[in-house]
Amino acid sequence: MDTYTQNFKVRLGLFVAGGLTLFILAIFIIGKQKNLFNPVFKLTSTFYNVSGLQVGNNIRFSGINVGTVDNISIINDSTVRVDMMIKKDVKQFIKSDCEVAIGSEGLIGDRLLIITQGSSDASLAEEGQQLASSEPVETDAIMASLKVTADNAAVISDQLAEIMIKLNSGNIAGNLNQTMENLKNSSKGLDENMNAAKENFLLKGYFNRKARAAEKMKKDTIEKKAAEQKTIEKKK
């Protein structure tokens, strides 16, 4: 009986020691993630929509985790305030004109805050200062835009396919051939009408005068060229 009691106490002691170790380890890990054991300073910013950001999410500056989201509170129907805890050793790099944006860990990862770099001549951010923010682009808006683009591409593809079918079936070629045939027939009809007009005794004098004028112009042109040729030969 004494041996059993002793073994039970030993097991109970080991269980308690193990539990305390795990508890202390958990506190250390959580405290490290929440910067409970590091000197920090606070900054704040406001957004119209935090887009799923949660307390405890990381804050990055120049691609490095420098803090965590401390608190998120609704100020009014169009403003959400986000309080940030930043490691004090990076305070010397956070400028007053830095901006805060909401990003994500990859395409579908957790949300996080991203502090952009400020200008070199700006003053350092002070404790509790509010930094300017830029609103996040909603995933739903991106998907909606992609859907519209895909629908437009589908319509264009259908139209191109229809044109290719018509080309392959010879419809367009047939229409072009018919158009050319119509033009030939129209030209032929016009020539016939002109010939008929020339034979009409009322218009015959008109066409004869035009023919004589054309013949005279041709003769004058030949004589002019001949005179110019003689002038050139005399100069030689």
What is the identity of the amino acid at 24? Answer: I
CA pair distance 131, 99, nearest whole angstrom:
6
Specify the higher pLDDT residue, 151 or 223. 223
Specify the higher pLDDT residue, 214 or 168. 214
Lookup: tokens for 204: 């015959």
DSSP 130: B
Question: For 76-85, 109-118, 178-187, which range has the lowest pLDDT when averaged over its residues?
Answer: 178-187
Task: Indicate whether 206 pLDDT > 90.
Answer: no
Alpha helix (H) residue ranges in 34-138: none
Specify the higher pLDDT residue, 82 or 156. 82
Task: Indicate whether 78 pLDDT > 70.
Answer: yes
Residue spans of beta strands (DSSP E) within the chain: 40-47, 58-61, 64-76, 79-87, 99-104, 111-115, 132-134
Mean pLDDT throughout 43-65? Answer: 90
Question: For 59-73, 134-148, 211-225, which range has the lowest pLDDT when averaged over its residues?
Answer: 134-148
What is the identity of the amino acid at 22? Answer: L
Task: Indicate whether 16 pLDDT > 90.
Answer: no
The whole-chain average pLDDT of the chain stands at 75
Instruction: Tell me the pLDDT tens digit for each residue of 87-136.
Output: 988 989 999 999 999 988 866 678 899 999 989 888 999 898 999 988 76
Q: Alpha carbon of 52 to those of 108, 140, 143: distances in Å? A: 12, 13, 17
Task: Indicate whether 145 pLDDT > 80.
Answer: no
Task: Indicate whether 191 pLDDT > 70.
Answer: no
C-beta separation of 10 from 97 below 8 A: no
Q: What is the DSSP string of 161-198?
A: HHHHHHHHHTHHHHHHHHHHHHHHHHHHHHHHHHHHHH
Question: For 21-25, 98-102, 106-110, 201-205, which range has the lowest pLDDT when averaged over its residues?
Answer: 201-205
